[in-house]
Structure 1
C-alpha cells in the first residue's frame, strides 16, 4: 500500500519526490511508453534547433484526502492544440526570468491559481512537440491546499480535476486510433473523466508515473 492510498501526507509526498528527483530522471525511456505512432516520423521531419521554449505545470494538491492534478480542455481556436486536454502552461516570454516562471504565470492566467501559493518541486525531462514546434519543460509544483480555481473562459473550456492514483493507474491506460491525411495514427492515452489525455501530455505523465512507481508511491 502506498502513502497515497489512505491518509494522504503532502509533506511526506514532497519529501519523497525531492529524493527521487535527486536520483536522476527516467527521461525518454519513460516518455516513449505513451508516444503516439506518428511521433518518430514527425521528429525526422522537424528541426528542433529552432523550437520555441515553453513550459507546463504539474500542480499537485490535496483534495478529499487524495492527491490531485488539474488539466484543462482548451477552447476551440486557431492553435494546433485547441480542444485538447493539456496541463496548464504556454510559451516562454522575454519578461519571464525562466521557464519555471512561465509555468507559474500561465497557470495563474489560465486557472486563476495564486502564484504565491505555488511551491516548486523540480523539473522533468524536456519534450519536443513537432506539430507546434515547442520545446516543453515540465515543471513539478504543489499547493498545500486545493487552489481556488477561476478559469479563463478565453483559453479554457473546462477544468478537469483528476486523482493521481486513478489517473496513473495501469488500468487507466487505453489505446485509440484516428485518421489524419489518410494516415492511421494509433496512440495510448490516460482517461480523465471520459477525456483522452494523449500525445505530449501523456508522455509527460508517463515520466512522472515512472518516478512515482520507482518511489513506491503508486
Structure 2
C-alpha cells in the first residue's frame, strides 16, 4: 500500500508499522515453515483503533472458560475459513462479526501478514492488519465461545512491567503480556510482540520473569488458530 493508496484519516502512528508489515516475512514472526501440503486455512483480525487521539489500542477477546479448547485464553477474533469466504480478510471480518458483533464496514483492511503455520492444530493462519476507523461498542455474541471483549492500550502492552514469559507444560517458552486483567500468550502474544517491534513501539524489558502455565485438561487435545505455538 503506497502513501497515495492509504485511507484518508489514517493516524500517523501507523508508520512505520504499515510499511514494515507490507514487506514482512514468515521469519519475522516464527521460525516454523508451513509444510508443502499447507494447512487448514484460517485468519485472525489484528484490529488497531484509538481510544483517544494518538493512543492506539488493540481489540482482543477472551475465550469462555467452559470451552474444550483454549479455555479462558485471550485471542484475536478469527477462525477457520468457510468455503464461501472470498479471502482471508473476509474470513477475519466475518468471524469478528459473529464473535463480538464487529460491523465489517467499521474496519479498513490495510495488509495481510504472512500465513503462519501452527503444527499442534495444522492451522495456516493469516493475520489481517486493519484500522478501526469507526469504533463502536462490541460484546460477546457467542456466549459459549467468548466470555469477554477488550481494547488493550498499546501503552500497557509495551510497559516493561506488563511483559513476562510463560512456560507451557510441553516445555515451550514464549512472550506474554499482562493487561486489563488478561494474560495474553501463545500465538496471539507472538504476533503482538513482533508487531510492536515493527512499529518501533517496544520498550526495553528484562525477560526474567517466567510464569508456568497450568496443564491443560485431559479433554483438551488442542487445535485452534490461537492455541500455541510460535
Q: Into which bin does the TM-score normalised by the smaller protein fall?
A: 0.7 to 0.9
TM-score w.r.t. length of structure 1:
0.76
Residues 26 and 116 in structure 2, CA contact (< 8 A), matched pair in contact too: no
Contact preservation (8 Å) 1:26, 1:211: no
What SS does the corresponding residue of 2:121 show, helix, strand or coil? coil
Q: Distance in 1 between matches of 2:80 and 2:185?
A: 20
Higher helix share: 1
- Verify the 8 A CA contact 1:70 1:162 in the aligned structure 2: yes
Per the TM alignment, residue 188 of structure 1 is displaced from its structure 2 partner at its CA by 2.4
Q: CA deviation at 1:147?
A: 2.3
Write the distance in 1 (CA, Å) between the matches of 2:155 and 2:25: 19
The separation in 2 between residues aligned to 1:162 and 1:193, in whole angstroms, is 7
- 1:54 corresponds to: 42
Instruction: Specify the alignment match of 2:131 in structure 1.
Output: 142
State the secondary structure of the residue aligned to 2:72: coil
What's the offset of the Cα at 1:170? Answer: 4.2
Q: Specify the SS of the correspondent of 2:42.
A: strand
Contact kept in structure 1, 2:166 and 2:185, CA below 8 Å? no
Q: Could you state the TM-score of these two structures normalised by the residue count of structure 2? A: 0.72
- State yes or no: 1:123 paired with 2:112: yes
Where does structure 2 lack aligned partners over 5 or more consecutive residues? 1-8, 204-230
Count, aligned residues: 192
What's the counterpart of residue 37 of structure 1?
A: none
Higher relative contact order (CA 8 A, sep 6+): 1
Q: Is the 8 A contact 1:124 1:207 kept in 2?
A: no
Q: Equivalent residues in 2 for 1:174-193 (5 A)?
A: 174-179=164-169, 183-193=170-180
1:157 deviation in Å? 0.6
Q: Cα distance, 1:53 vs. partner?
A: 0.5
Counterpart CA distance in 1 for 2:71 and 2:60 is 14
Measure how far apart 1:132 and its partner are.
Answer: 1.7
Question: Structure 1 stretches of 5 or more lacking a match?
Answer: 1-8, 33-39
Instruction: Note the aligned Cα RMSD (angstroms).
Output: 2.7
2:146 matched residue in structure 1:
156
Cα deviation, 1:158-202, whole Å, max 9, x if unaligned, reads 1122101221344432023353xxx54433211122322111111
Q: Any idea what SS the aligned residue of 2:11 has?
A: helix
2:135 counterpart SS class: coil
